[in-house]
Amino acid sequence: MLKCSECGKSIDEKEALVQGKGNDKRIICPDCFQKATGVDYKTFAYRKENAKMTIFAVLFCLIGTVYAFVERGPLYGLLGIVLTVLVYLFSSKAK
């Protein structure tokens, strides 16, 4: 059992959120995290993972766009840019 640094509530190790590095670690319970951020931790983790996947998808599309521009010409490069923007718009939609 750990104690929350904010409210002092006893929580399981599985529920504890650790903030900081080294000797400056603070343990936060899910309730205090929600009060501080306005979002519960599961939603926050989902959005963080979605942002990572969006970055990888956009980078992959940009690399493909550069390749298409170099190998096929400006028309394919422009098409790649349009597709990259569409991938970004559709992958970053929050549900």
Going through 2-92 in order, the beta strands assigned E by DSSP cover 2-3, 10-11, 17-19, 26-28
The residues, any chain, with a CB within 8 Å of residue 22's CB and separated by 6 or more, are none
Comparison of pLDDT for 92 and 41, the residue scoring more: 41
Predicted structure pTM score: 0.60
DSSP string, 60-77: HHHHHHHHHHHHH-HHHH
pLDDT for the residue 67: 94
- Both tokens of 63, joined, read 């690399």
Helix, strand or coil for residue 55? helix
Q: What is the CA radius of gyration of the chain?
A: 21
pLDDT for the residue 94: 52
